[in-house]
Amino acid sequence: MEELKSFPLSEVTLHSSKSDCWLTIHGKVYDVTNFLEEHPGGEDVLLESAAKGDATNDFEDVGHSSTATSMLSSYLIGTLDRSSSKKGDVGQQSSNGVKNVAAKTATLERQVSSSSSSMRKFIVPFISLVVAFVAWYYYSHSGKKACCSHH
Ligand code: HEM
């Protein structure tokens, strides 16, 4: 068996066009050029993920079926070179670092925005409950007064 080639992330992101598209998922590099038009989720999402670099989160977020996961192997061309420790690769490594930080920031931003939207989802019914309780309290309180002043 031929040994798989190892590519630095900076090289994978160079292949992000319709005529040449590579994706990185779980540390493996896939050439999905021929799959672009067949992808049920459309080619644009694949091209976006390819340009970003690591597509693992994008792939997982969709909740792809096991069929989709097993399709991956037919597009495998290599593995991701995480160390990038080759001589003369230092510049590339630092640019990878910058990209990683950018990716992490993007993920964090996504998490914050999704948590704030779920906060909103929680706060709206909570406020309605408080309003309902206050209304009920005043209603029953004034009702009690009316009732007790009778006696
Ligand atoms: C080589 C990598 C990929 C393969 C083989 C693949 C395969 C598939 C398959 C077979 C489906 C149909 C539903 C299913 O079986 O789960 C699908 C749906 C989808 N894929 Fe991918 N996919 C890949 C990468 C990606 C990436 C990187 C994204 C980025 C966001 C993506 C986004 C989507 C979306 C949004 C759908 C849903 C379409 C719908 O339900 O209308 N896919 N994909």
* ipTM metric: 0.92
pLDDT of 25-36, one tens digit each?
999 999 999 999
- pLDDT category, 112, cuts 50, 70, 90? low
Distance 10 CA to ligand 1 centre (A): 23
Distance 27 CA to ligand 1 centre (A): 18
For the chain, the C-alpha Rg in angstroms (whole number) is 27
* CATH architecture of the domain formed by 5-112: Roll (3.10)
pLDDT of 73-109, one tens digit each?
999 999 999 875 444 444 444 455 555 666 666 666 6
The residues near 17 (Cβ < 8 Å, ≥ 6 apart) are 47
CA 122 to chain CA centroid, nearest Å: 22
Distance 134 CA to ligand 1 centre (A): 49
pLDDT on residue 26: 95
50 close to 15: Cβ distance less than 8 angstroms:
yes
CB atoms within 10 A of CB 25: 22
| Residue spans per domain, the chain | 5-112
Ligand 1, atom 30, lies closest to the CA of 58
Ligand 1 closest atom vs CA 64: 16
- pLDDT category, 139, cuts 50, 70, 90? confident
**Widest pairwise Cα distance in the chain:** 96
Q: Name the average pLDDT for the chain.
A: 82
pLDDT of 6-19, one tens digit each?
999 999 999 999 99
What does the buried/exposed string (b/e) look like for 108-129 if buried means 16 or more CB atoms within 10 Å of the residue's CB?
A: eeeeeeeeeeeeeeeeeeeeee
pLDDT on residue 88: 40
Mean pLDDT throughout 64-70?
Answer: 96
- Ligand 1 binding site (Cβ under 6 Å of any ligand atom): 23, 30, 32, 39-41, 45-46, 49, 55, 58-59, 62, 64-65, 67-68, 71-72, 75
13 close to 52: Cβ distance less than 8 angstroms:
yes
